[in-house]
Amino acid sequence: MPSLTGRLEGAVSRNLLHVASQDSGSPKLEKQALGVWGHAGQFSELKLAVPWGHIAAKAWGSQQGPPVLCLHGWLDNANSFDRLIPLLSKDFHYVAMDFGGHGLSSHYSPGLPYYHQNFVSEVRRVAAALKWSRFSLIGHSFGGLVGGMFSCVFPEMVDKLILLDATPFFLDTNEIENLLTYKRRNTEHTLQVEASKKPSKVVSQEAMLQGFLKNNSHVGEECGALLLQRGTTQVATGLVLNRDRRIAKIEHCLDFVSKELFEHYIRKLQARVLLIKATQGYHDVRRENDANTEPMLFKIGMLRAVLKERFQFVEVTGNHYVHMNQPQLVASVINSFLQSKERIPAQL
C-alpha cells in the first residue's frame, strides 16, 4: 500500500498546451490543456474561463468521439470518476468538471450564492466552451440532480442521461416544513462566512483524510485519498481544503419539486435515461429520512410511465460511492447503455 503522502500527491507528468478561443457575441472562453499520466490513465487537465474565474475539468479520449460530461457529487470533485472512466468505452470523449467552489475550480465571486440553478448554468457554460451542441451526461448524487435539471431545461442538448445513485430531482414531500428554513440558513451561512476573517484551517494529511472518512462513511480510504488529492492544497504546515466555505449543506441550495412538477419536468426530457441504484445507497437528501423509500419508488415509477422504453433501471450491490469503490459493477451497464440504441435488459 503506498504511503498516505503518495496517495494524496500522485505521480503525474505534465506537458503544457494553452488554447484560447472566443465566439462572436459570447464571453471569452479559455481552455488550458495539460497532458497527464497518472492513476486514471492518460487524461488532460482543462481550464475553462468563466466570468468569476475558471471551471477546471479533466478529459479522456479523442475529441472526435461522442462527448460525455461527468458531474460529481456534493463537496466532491472530478476525481470522483478517475476509477470509472478508464473502464468505459474508448469510443467516447469524457470530460469530468469541477463545479464552482469545488476541486480546482474558482470560487464564486463575493456576494454570489451557490444555488442549484447556478450549477445547471455551469454545465451550459462548459458545453459552450467545448462547442458541444449535443452530448450525454453522467451524474453522481448531486451531479445527477444538476444533470436532471439541465436535461429538462435544455432537452435538445442531451442524448443520454446516466444517474449514479441519483434521481433527476428531489421531491418536496418530506420537506414542506423545512423549505423556508433552508433558504434562511443558506443566506445566514453565506453572510457569516463572508464576515469571518478566519483563514482556512490547516491540518495534517492524516487528519484531513480521517476527518473526510468520518464524514463520508461510504467512501473507502483509497477513494477518500483520491478525492482529497484534487480537493486540497499543500501548504507549509499541512493541507487546506480547496472548496468554498460558503458551500454548506446540500439541502440549503436545492430546488425541491412537487410530484406534479416532477411529472411535468420529466415530460420535457428528450434523452434516454439510465438510473443505477446502489442497494446500500441513499434514498433521500437527508439521511434521517432514508428509511422512507416512497418518494424514490414514486420517481422510478413515474420515469417508467412517462419515458417508457427510454428509461432503464438497474440495481447494483454497493453503497452510494459504488462507482468509485467498485467501478467494475457499473462500467459494463454504462458501456452498454452508451453504445446501444436499443433498450438493454435491466439486469446485472
- Nearest Cα neighbor of 78 from 14, 138, 6, 23 is 138
- Residue 141 bears catalytic tag: yes
In whole angstroms, give the CA distance from residue 255 to residue 119: 12
Catalytic residue among 80, 106, 141, 151: 141
Sign of the CA dihedral 314, 284, 324, 161?
Answer: positive
What is the enclosing helix (H) or strand (E) of 118?
helix 116-129
73 grid coordinates: 457529487
Beta bridge partners of 280: 319
Say how far residue 316 (Cα) sits from the centre of its chain: 19
Beta bridge partners of 115: none
Distances (CA, A) of 171 to 168, 267, 277, 298, 337: 10, 16, 17, 10, 27
With a CB cutoff of 8 Å and minimum separation 6, the contacts of 27 are 49, 50, 51
Residue type, 61: G
What letter would DSSP give residue 269? -
Distances (CA, A) of 138 to 168, 255, 273, 286: 12, 20, 10, 22
Task: For 163-213, give the secondary structure using H, E and C.
Answer: EECCCCCCECCCCCCCHHHHHHHHHHHHHHHHHCCCCCCCECHHHHHHHHH
Give burial (CB, 10 Å; 0-12/13-18/19+) of 297.
Answer: exposed
Residue by residue, DSSP assigns 122-178 as: HHHHHHHHTT-SSEEEEEETHHHHHHHHHHHHSGGGEEEEEEES--S--BSTTTTTT
Which residues participate in catalysis according to the annotation? 141
